[in-house]
Structure 1
């Protein structure tokens, strides 16, 4: 016995320009019938919450599937899978497409070469799928946009739930973030952690989906923006605070990556913050205190 519920959508051209669109969502459980062999022209994430079964690769190799797990079905790739005929499984699936699938694949959130991905817990991804199912109520005027936004959220939830990664990435990422403002090269960072530059690149790519240089650059420029917006430090001083000894190089780098020079960014975003600013995330359930924390130290 099995139970199946599914809905399919046809987003318009404007929705596709959002980057990702949801083409369908479904919830199924029990001894479901075998799927495939077949080939899709879109992506599908199948989140298996309980139970088990198998996945057959195009060359006939079987891979056991044990919940919690994710099946990645990617465009143009033959696939063939089924729950165990005795115990079945509980699944939620989302069909999606859009130009943003390419950068999500580049960043490692979608893995075409890894169709079976063990998860630590399917609760968060399943919650997103459930919200998408609720959005599929008849007459919902926000259906396409609401489900498109949820596809982005689902990819993040699946990335955090992967069993082979900690939710916040490789421990070396925390060390890089701690040392990000020191005037060190990528080779210096690698040596500091007893790694070769190639090993560091692999760890950061796997944990953050980018190179060590881009990871460090994002942290440095983010803090530079905060200093420009909330202090009156000269640009040269801001450059030194975030690890650049050459202020001219910092200004060129900032302009190229941010799209506006540091001075102009300050003119647009600068504001006086009485008592300084804090890096503590406020609790949205509590009213702001009348006396903000003191200035942040770096």
Structure 2
């Protein structure tokens, strides 16, 4: 016995240009029928919220699936899976496609080589799927845009929910972010964690979708932008604050990555900040207020 609800969509070519489109969404639970063997031409995220079963990839070997888990189905990859016939499982699935899937794969949010991913929790992914379900009401003129936006949200939620990465990211990434403004080379950062540079690259690539150098640079430039936009420190002082002793090198690097010189960025973005600047994230339930 099982229960199922699903809807499928055919977004227009114009909607595909948004980057991601939802092709279908479904909620099912119980002793579901076996899926496959089959091969698809699009992506599917199957979120197993409760229960257990099995999954088989191109080699046909069955591996156990225990909730909470994610099954990635990627285009052109044969697959076969099913719930335990004795207990069944509870699943949510989302079919999607679009040019942004290539970038999400490069960033490590979609993992074709890792079709079965243990999750720590499915609350956030289920919330994203829930938004697609609500948008899927008949006659919704915003259906394609709302469901497409929710696919972006789902990919982020699944990335955060991976059991091998905590809500705040990998501990190595946290340490790199903490030490990002120190004048350390990638090799020196790696040595601090008892790793080779190659091992550190693997960890950062898997956790952040980029090289250690780009990860550190992104943090440094983000802080530099904040200092330039919210204060009046000289550019040389900003450079030192974010780990660059040579202000000329910092200015060239900033211009190359941001598209304008630090001075120009300050002119464009700078503003007076009453009460000073804070790095605390505002509470969404109690946002800051401006008293006129």
Could you tell me the TM-score, scaled by structure 1's length?
0.93
1:145-160 residue pairs with structure 2 within 5 A? 145-160=145-160
Corresponding residue number in structure 1 for 2:179: 179
Corresponding residue number in structure 1 for 2:46: 46
Corresponding residue number in structure 1 for 2:227: 227
Instruction: Answer yes or no: is 1:75 the counterpart of 2:75.
Output: yes
Cα distance change, pair 289–10 in 1 and its aligned pair in 2 (3 A):
closer
Cα deviations by residue, 1:103-124 (Å, 9 ceiling, x for unpaired): 1111111111111111111222
Q: Matches of 2:193 and 2:84 in 1, distance apart? A: 45
Q: Which moved further from structure 2: 279-288 or 106-115?
A: 279-288
Note the C-alpha offset of 1:161. Answer: 1.3
Q: Matches of 1:69 and 1:243 in 2, distance apart? A: 40
Q: Which moved further from structure 2: 282-291 or 93-102?
A: 282-291
Q: What SS is found at the alignment partner of 2:240?
A: helix
Note the C-alpha offset of 1:17. Answer: 1.4
Q: Matches of 1:289 and 1:124 in 2, distance apart? A: 28
Corresponding residue number in structure 2 for 1:102: 102
Q: Matches of 2:287 and 2:64 in 1, distance apart? A: 50
Cα distance change, pair 56–193 in 1 and its aligned pair in 2 (3 A):
closer
Q: Matches of 2:114 and 2:272 in 1, distance apart? A: 50
Corresponding residue number in structure 2 for 1:211: 211
Corresponding residue number in structure 1 for 2:88: 88
Q: Matches of 2:251 and 2:13 in 1, distance apart? A: 39
Note the C-alpha offset of 1:128. Answer: 1.3
Corresponding residue number in structure 1 for 2:60: 60
Corresponding residue number in structure 1 for 2:244: 244
Q: What SS is found at the alignment partner of 1:49?
A: strand
Cα deviations by residue, 1:124-181 (Å, 9 ceiling, x for unpaired): 2112112211110011111111111111111111111111222222212122111111
Q: What SS is found at the alignment partner of 1:221?
A: helix
Note the C-alpha offset of 1:252. Answer: 1.5
Could you tell me the TM-score, scaled by structure 2's length?
0.95
Corresponding residue number in structure 2 for 1:267: 267
1:115-154 residue pairs with structure 2 within 5 A? 115-154=115-154
RMSD: 1.5
Q: Which moved further from structure 2: 63-72 or 165-174?
A: 165-174
Q: Matches of 1:150 and 1:289 in 2, distance apart? A: 29
Q: Matches of 1:110 and 1:145 in 2, distance apart? A: 21
Q: Matches of 1:280 and 1:108 in 2, distance apart? A: 28
Q: Matches of 1:77 and 1:290 in 2, distance apart? A: 54
Q: Matches of 2:59 and 2:287 in 1, distance apart? A: 59
CA contact (8 A) 2:57 2:77 kept: no
Note the C-alpha offset of 1:263. Answer: 1.5
